[in-house]
Amino acid sequence: MVSRKTWFITGAGRGFGLQWARAALSRGDRVAATARDVAALEGLSSEFGNAVLPLALDITHREDVFAAVQQAHAHFGRLDIVLSNAGSGLMGAVEEVDMDMVRAAFDVNVFGTLSVVQAALPLLRAQGSGHIIGVSSVAGVVAVPTAGIYEGTKFAVEGIFEALAAEVADFGIHVTLLEPGAYATDFFSTGSLATAPALPEYDPLRERLDSMTMESLGDPAATAPVLLKVVDAEKPPLRIILGDLFPLVRETYDKRIKTWEEWQDESLAALGRDAKQLAPQSGEKA
């Protein structure tokens, strides 16, 4: 039997965060749910009562993040799962985005996530357990044109969490990266997604890329049982893709490995020593 867990979820007022908060509460867990507009959490509060602690939070305000995590911990007595879900998107070719847009994207997706992690870690270390979950994206694994800055934020989250997992394993803390593909949430609304002013030079590229339809998007509700299975696992994964994009990821990594292999002689030559002496001989393990 799975014991009741206590969650801290950012961005719980809509989208994935709302789906996951409701799934946790529906099975008897407790949730400290945050949203920039606390009114977005009224539905959860009215449905689940005292099992919900609604908190207003903008994760770009670091001091408020620490205060919210402390309040949640004091209210429930512990935190088992810290789910950094709040995020924002940015579309535009690298040449099109201005620095204010870039900074805003990193403030939410990278620095906001980092604040949540750093606020929770002392509490989780003290109790000797916990599970930190970050919402990355398949865009944190594979980059495609016209989303480079958004992808850059998710690549950054991937690197931070991979290092984090190794750093906190001895404290009994698990770390997982969720890597969703495209889902029918309100992520594509103006409240979540910014778009840089378009340069006409990139219009032909955009036309070739514009193949996504609502029918091709995943069902957000279908992710909730998967997340619950992850948090209940004795050995949860560091990474899990949500959706059908694993073939694309495999193809991308196969190409990367092929390129590295093709340029291996040059890679070894760049050491400034005899590449032939350094290269693995036939029959030897690399």
Length reported for the chain: 286
CA distances from 168 to 129, 157, 175, 235 (A): 10, 16, 8, 14
> Catalytic residue at 84?
no
Q: Which pair of tokens denotes residue 102?
A: 């870039």
CA distances from 28 to 53, 65, 131, 215 (A): 14, 25, 18, 33
> Catalytic residue at 115?
no
Nearest to 133 by CA among 172, 164, 176: 176
Name the catalytic one among 84, 88, 137, 150: 150
Name the catalytic one among 88, 115, 137, 154: 154
Residue with tokens 């949860």: 236
Name the catalytic one among 136, 137, 183, 202: 136
Q: Which pair of tokens denotes residue 29?
A: 């867990």
Are the CB atoms for 57 and 107 separated by under 8 Å? Answer: no
Are the CB atoms for 107 and 155 separated by under 8 Å? Answer: no
List, in sequence order, the alpha helices (H) in the chain.
15-26, 42-48, 62-76, 99-106, 113-127, 148-168, 203-209, 223-232, 246-262, 264-269, 275-278
Calpha distance 15→21 (Å, rounded): 10
Calpha distance 237→155 (Å, rounded): 18
> Catalytic residue at 136?
yes
> Is the torsion defined by CA of 59, 60, 65, 68 positive or negative?
negative
Rounded (5°) CA angle 63-69-72:
140
Which are the catalytic amino acids?
136, 150, 154
